[in-house]
Amino acid sequence: FPSHDNDFVNNMTHELKTPISTISLASQMLSDKESPMANKNLDHLASVIADESKRLSYQVEKVLQMSIFDKGKMNLRLKEIDANELITTVVRNTLIQIKNKNGTIVKNLDAVEAVILADEVHFTNVLFNLLDNGIKYSKGSPDITLSTSNRDNNLVITVADKGIGIPKEHQARIFEQFYRVPTGNVHNVKGFGLGLSYVKKIIEAHNGKIYLESELNKGTTFSIFIPLKRS
Ligand code: ADP
């Protein structure tokens, strides 16, 4: 990682240290012999540990994903995937998080031809990264819409939010590794600036393209174009 990039190092340190200290706090509480068992909310502590370790491994996974790219090797395991089905699953797994923030998530699966050749793991990560950003960069409760459609010989997937938006002057750079819109920190949203560069690389490895439309304080829409298999 670029050692001169203090913001990046600060963000990464924050993202990794917070779950570690939460987990260690929870384990201290569990092993504190002074406090009677009845006072310990075991279920709560267990779920805190589970959530925080998930978060930790997700962050580590992100860094690993990028280090794989940097070595220049990428093996896609392509298989036929129904994007409508994949999105249905992804939405189902995000529902708790969205409901927890009183948000909504809507899907419009209009694509009639939704089967693409894709790497399931990487493609799922792409959708989660975009969804995650839609949630992270919403001001209040997130309102996310996922859509599929067919255009020319492409499957089009859009992920739209009604969040903080991205100022015009930053839009060209957000797919760069480590790039973050400066206000990201003002809104106290922590991140590495890795998610979108990963997304773009994966989409391009699938011969696809990704575009964004965004307006400050109105929201952001990412559109992914993936060529359909010709038979
Ligand atoms: P991270 O979220 O970890 O900073 P990303 O590469 O996923 O990294 O995003 C890069 C930057 O683009 C973010 O820091 C944020 O400023 C901006 N951004 C990404 N997605 C959105 C979105 N849906 N709404 C507003 N800003 C966004």
Q: State how far the Cα of 180 lies from the Cα of 186, in Å rounded to an integer.
A: 12
Q: What amino acid occupies position 202?
A: I
Q: Quick one: how far is CA 133 from the chain centroid?
A: 5
Residues with CB under 6 A from ligand 1: 133-134, 137, 161, 163-166, 174, 180-181, 184, 191-197, 220
pLDDT per residue of the chain (231 residues) written in tens, 0 to 9: 454 456 666 777 777 888 888 888 888 888 887 766 546 688 888 888 888 888 888 777 777 776 666 666 677 889 999 999 999 999 988 888 888 889 999 999 999 999 999 998 889 889 989 999 999 999 889 999 999 999 999 999 999 999 999 999 999 999 998 898 987 555 567 677 888 998 999 999 999 999 999 999 999 999 999 999 765
**C-alpha distance across the termini of the chain, in Å:** 43
In total, the chain counts a number of residues equal to 231
Q: Do 196 and 182 contact (CB within 8 A), yes or no? A: no
Q: Look-up: residue for tokens 């957000």?
A: 174
Mutate to test the pocket of ligand 1, among 196, 202, 213, 218 (most ligand atoms within 8 A of CB): 196
Residue ranges of the alpha helices (H) in the chain?
Answer: 6-31, 42-70, 83-100, 120-136, 168-171, 183-186, 195-205
Q: Whose CA is nearest to atom 25 of ligand 1?
A: 165
How far does the centroid of ligand 1 lie from the alpha carbon of residue 152, in Å?
Answer: 29
Q: Whose CA is nearest to atom 3 of ligand 1?
A: 191
* DSSP secondary structure code for residue 140 in this structure: S
- Residues 203, 207, 208, 209, CA torsion sign: positive
- Cβ neighbours, 10 Å, residue 175: 18
